[in-house]
Structure 1
Amino acid sequence: MNILDEKGAMYAVVTLQDSDEVMVVPSNWVSLDKRHCYWPPFKSTEKCMEAVQHKPNPETEGKPWEKLRIIFLGEYDTFEKAKEGQKEIKEYEELSNPLKNVLPGIKRQRLDSTQEMSNNQLQPLPPVTPASTSRMSADDKDELLQMLRDIKSTVQENSAMLKKLLKDNTVSEVPSSTSVPPKEVKTSLNLPLRTFEDMERTERELNTTTTRKTYVKYLSGLGGFGNRDVIKNIMQHVLIDDLANEFNWQGRGNKKPFSQLTLADVIREAASKRNVPRVDCETEIKKYLSYTADRLSRKRAREQAGPGLEIPNVLPTLVDDQPDMAWDFFDDI
């Protein structure tokens, strides 16, 4: 490797590519193509800094020196000016890339002489350096640094918000199998609703933000395995079948429209916290309401028949290879 002649030696500021450190080195340690430099084999930081200031030739001191890949950033007449340039470049890089310090540093690795690229290979593009900042006025530099500090602050705030969102999302995605079983969930709410008077009272109460949040928290905690089970658990805890039988989704015929209730919005919100999409939630509510009359008839048949007689489930059961039926027709009920 060709080394700059000692008579013309100054100081250079370089970035060590393997460790990403910005260092001051004597110019006589830098190769003529400014792509490599030698580094002394001293373990002590103090001895390395002493060598930098005294600028010994790399082939001296009796031990082999490391040969490192570098990005050449600039040259300076004196060691003091080089240190000032190093400080300015470090601050510039830190503010322009605030996430850089999060990543662990990579130790410098020794480069074997056989790893040098031959002259006929493609050469890397010249590095972009902050040399243009040297032409700025002091006020311009201060303004630029302040802008970069603002950017860094914004990145930190966004990172904190992202961590909070990820944490909240993780909590909301806990599998339903780990939820508290419905029968063990305790509440001070007056549920299930039994009469129209109960429904009217609840609709008024749900206009209060605090009450609405209480309902959502309670209903979303009922759990369930899959969308159908989640909605079934919620509906069973919200109203009894005798009251549910007075509703369908759109209020067709002599039924009242469940979709227009504030309670329906609360159920959708609670279901969303169990990862049930809005469309699926509404579909399952339509199913539940449409089966109410059948549930009541079977319940009354059991009551009349007395204990010991099992009433068969007359609902159609879909086999695995049979397509599910469309539920849009409930809107016409």
Structure 2
Amino acid sequence: MYAVITFQDSDELMVVPSNWLSSDMKHCYWPPFKSTEKCMEAVQNKLNPETEGKPWEKLRIIFLGQYDTFEMAKEGQKQYKEYKERSYPLDTILPGIKRQKLESTQGMSNNQLQPLLPASPASTSRMSADDKVEILQMLRDIKSKVQQNSTMLKKFKDNTVSEAPSSTFVPSKDIKANLKLPLRTFEDVARTEMELKNATTRKKYIKYFSRLGGFVPKDVIKNIMQQVLTDDLAMQFNWQGRGNKKPFSQLMLTDVIRDAALNRNINRGYCETEIKKYLSYAPGRKKSKEQGGPGHEISNVISTSVMDNQPENRETFLIND
């Protein structure tokens, strides 16, 4: 398995093998290779974190998520990176001001902010009073936005650290095998429903699902559902059991997914909506896999967009099943 992490000292976002992480998910071994290509090769081959019997350097990290394959981890890394960039839209407002400078304005007064104006002294002296007032207001807005972004990023880091697996539980292939996932047949579903009547087993499932990773709520539910059902089996379900399909909403397993989502601060309504979408998109995912392409991702985006603008269309009916 692979993990997406951020190095605390450099703020770099990286994909690393899970066997490079410490048991508390707060440190990561890093190879001493100077070549970037050699480091990437070590990551993909999941080398033991040592050279000639000597352990590599341990670096402090923030654990963000864990994935079954390198490709899935790279996709997760891309999503984290996009979120991080969206958290700092101010670079596009004043391109000459770097992020570090913007962050340093948090404690500045309006007079202290004036040197950040992207204008020469001569042009400043020719500004009208209204222009100066407008620019000062813009800087106040920038200062407020920077404070909001910093607060949001701090909350994200705090939540990520608190959600990192403890030393007594790290989702792994062994645990997944013990839970016998993903379910492939109705017999598998019936067996799991029986198992979930046991409170201890139920807690194991909730714990495993809630630690599968995913940065935004949509990805959290998607990661859980990918572990729960194969696409072939997902095609046999819809939410209410309409037509010739089985009702997914009546399974104890569905309650377990809701509880796992709640552990990630995802409310019941949103969780159910994403489950409905996941079930309705199963045929598209299967077709895309058979064709060997990522086309289902595009169709999902298009279908979701249509649903937002035309509540009465067919896609919405499928998701509300």
Give the TM-score of the pair, scaled to structure 2.
0.43
Q: Which of 1 and 2 has greater Rg?
A: 1
**Structure that is richer in helix per residue:** 2
Which gives a bigger RCO, structure 1 or 2 (Cα 8 Å, sep 6+)?
2
